Amino acid sequence: MNRKKKINQILSKKSKRAKSKKAFESGGCNKPRYISKAERAKMEAETEASEKTPTADSNEYH
């Protein structure tokens, strides 16, 4: 009995792991991807740089 129980536990554990991995890969996970503090700072700097790009100044041609 114990041997059968142990085998069933192992098989059910493997199937649960496979199901969760499959759900995660297919986008079933609602948790957003973790973004580190350094990455957030880098992204913020990029957005600030793109906002500060020089635009055509109307006073330049007068």
pLDDT tens digit sequence for 8-54:
999 999 999 888 877 766 666 666 778 999 999 999 999 998 888 76
CB neighbours of 35 closer than 8 A, spacing ≥ 6? 43
- In the chain, how many H helices and how many E strands? 2, 0
Average pLDDT of the chain is 81
Q: What is the dihedral of CA 17, 20, 26, 31, to 10 degrees?
A: -140
